[in-house]
Amino acid sequence: MPTEEEFRLVDRMLDELMVKHFEMAQMCGEYRDLLADLEERTWDRDKRKLASHLPGARYLVAQTWVREQGLKIQAELRKMFPPEDA
C-alpha cells in the first residue's frame, strides 16, 4: 500500500513538471513575439540570427528535464502501484 510520503513525492514532482511546462510556454510566447517583430523588421540582423537558433538552449534543456522528470514520475508510480501480473 502506498504511503502518504510517496503520494506527496509524486505530487511535488508533478507540481515541478507543471511549473516547467509553464516556463516553456512562456519561452514559446517570447519566440512568437520575436517572429512577429521580425515580420515587420526583417532587416534586423541580430533578431534574424536569434530566430535562426530557435528553440534556444534554455528550451532544449527544459525539454530534456521534462522528459527525465516524466520518467521519474512513471518509475515512482510503478513502485507505488506495481503491475497486477508481477
**pLDDT tens across 67-80, in order?**
999 999 999 999 99
* Dist CA 86 CA 83 (whole Å): 6
Spatial neighbors of 34 by CB under 8 A, at least 6 apart, are 47, 50, 51, 54
CA distance 62 to 83: 30
- Cell 536569434, residue located: 50
Q: State mean pLDDT over 79-83.
A: 94
C-alpha span between 13 and 17 (Å, rounded): 6
> Does 51 have pLDDT greater than 80?
yes
Q: Convert the pLDDT of each residue in 10-49 to its tens digit.
A: 999 999 999 999 999 999 999 999 999 999 999 999 999 9
Among candidate residues 84, 83, 85, 79, the one with its CA nearest the CA of residue 6: 79
